[in-house]
Amino acid sequence: MEISEFLAVESCKKDFTAASKEEAVRAVARLIAASPRVSGDLEDEIAEGLLAREKLGSTGFGDGIAVPHCKVESMESFAMALAISPRGVPFKAMDNRSVHIICGIAGPDSDPDTHLRLLAAAARILSISRVRYEILRSASSYALREAFLYHTSISAACQIDAEACRKLLVVVLQEEKSYREVMELFLELDIPGAVTHEGSLMGETLSTVPLFAGFMDVLGSSRPETRTVMALVPESSIDDIVGAIEEITGDLSTHKGACIMVLTPDLIRGSLETI
């Protein structure tokens, strides 16, 4: 999936201004409706859809980012918008901070798969601090679009070929934020059948054994929930997928609390895709 197909320069705006959340959402609807992918005058319908979604809970998910999105019955395909508000918009975000980057998504209700993948891509890309920094420094609508799309190119390189020789990718993560973003990456890449297992660290387990009481509480008050993610992926995509994960975790040769292993299965029978 090429996100460049969904984000037109006509739908990107630098120096976005809005005094309230509703005003911002309506302005984002206007940008989405300006896309060449949108046929007819659907601005009001898109705005109502976005506002209805906001009533379910704010799409401002922290770090100055909001991703308002909705399904619109009259739309034939998906379209996106991207806007920067230098002054910030009060958006009732999860962290109560003003929103400076807004990415809007709207499309038909008949294609939930594309909706989810676009949503995951936007959330993942905008959660990276250096990406936000580049986007906020964009000098024009063209530069804004290019800064965003540059970081989605990794996803385009990781196309999944179900018939290719496959490896077992194992990712172990301790940080909740990294785990959430890796899950968003897998959804964006349409990796089928990824399985997550929650576990605990050795020190945490031994600290409950009376013999080691007072010695093995190496974690102090911190109790990370270690998660292991396993998925079968094409061998040809391994380098690109590992690179995309390191965009989230940082260089794993120096970063603690995360690990990637790639194994060669002797036998693969069946599928872990959703029943």
Give pLDDT tens digits for 200-235. 766 666 566 555 555 545 545 455 678 999 988 888
| Over residues 52-57, mean pLDDT | 93
| Architecture of the domain made up of 163-263 | 2-Layer Sandwich (3.30)
The whole-angstrom separation of Cα 162 and Cα 145 is 31
* 8-39 burial: b if 16+ Cβ within 10 Å, else e: bbbbbbbebebeebeebbbbbbbbbbbbebbe
Q: CATH assignment of 3-155?
A: 3.40.930.10
The whole-angstrom separation of Cα 76 and Cα 72 is 9
For CA atoms 167, 173, 178, 180, the dihedral sign is: positive
Residue 206 has a pLDDT of 58
Q: Enumerate the domain spans of the chain.
A: 3-155, 163-263
Q: Name the H helices within 127-237.
A: 129-136, 141-150, 153-157, 176-189, 202-206
Annotated catalytic residue, options 69, 100, 115, 151: 69
Q: Which residue reads 């949108």 in tokens?
A: 38
- The band of 248, judged by pLDDT with boundaries at 50, 70 and 90, is confident
Q: Reply yes or no on whether the pLDDT at 266 is more than 70.
A: yes
- HSE (side-chain half, CA atoms, 13 Å) at 215: 6
Q: Please indicate whether residue 69 is annotated as part of the active site.
A: yes
Q: Reply yes or no on whether the pLDDT at 185 is more than 90.
A: no
